[in-house]
Amino acid sequence: MTVEPENRPVTPEDEPSPQPEKKGSKRKSLIESALLLLGGVLVALLLRLIVLDSFAIPSESMENTLINGDRVFVNKLSGTPDRGDVVVFKGWDGEDTIKRVIAVGGDTVKCCDAQGRITVNGVPLDEKAYLHPDDFPSGEKFEKVVPKGRLWVMGDHRSASADSRTHEEQEGEGTISEKAVIGRAFAIYWPFSRVGLLSTSETFTKLR
């Protein structure tokens, strides 16, 4: 009887031969990948429909905060608009429009005080942070008590903006309904050179 040595070197013949990949396993992997891709697309669509929207700036009325051609993300679940928010809404002509909220329901908004500043409830606004550097708060004088559930909105480039001042003869005396607001613009995502967040100016914190 021959006894095999305990430490016999392993030869290629001793190695287990690789098992061929089963066709069913490959098909299962492809199906799972397709389902993951489909799930990602569905999540993106749901976000687009329910949470996020996109808006292309169509004019110079919000310069220099936003310039013609900028694209912004819009939060559709941002809640009730507040003073200082940049909002997208169904405008007076039915078109999607973007402006800054200056006053909300119950506020008295007026132009202008002795220094040429817009006031809200008697408090002057320091608008240097967002007002177009070659512009002024308003070329027209006005004084409005904003009805409940409505907003007084203005562009940051006042002399180039058709906003609440321009539509005083319409329903709400130029104000827009809170229900017309699609959402709050919170970030520029295009072009890449202008990517950044849109913040609310500190001047509006004095009114809260």
Q: Catalytic positions, please? A: 61, 99
- DSSP label at 19? P
Residues with Cβ within 8 Å of residue 191, at least 6 apart in sequence: 69, 70
Q: Measured at the alpha carbon of residue 163, what is the angle toward residues 178 and 199, in degrees to the nearest 5? A: 65
| Token pair belonging to 205 | 């914190």
d(CA 154, CA 137): 10
What is residue 114's three-state secondary structure? Answer: coil
Which amino acid is it at 138? S
Cβ-proximal residues to 207 (8 Å cutoff; 6+ apart), any chain: 83, 107, 120, 121, 123
48, two tokens? 């687009």
Tokens describing residue 94: 């039915």
Strands 119-120 vs 123-124: parallel, antiparallel or unpaired? antiparallel
Task: Return the amino acid letter for 19.
Answer: Q
Taking the C-alpha atoms of residue 199 and residue 108, their distance in angstroms, rounded to an integer, is: 23
Cβ atoms of residues 110 and 94 within 8 Å: no
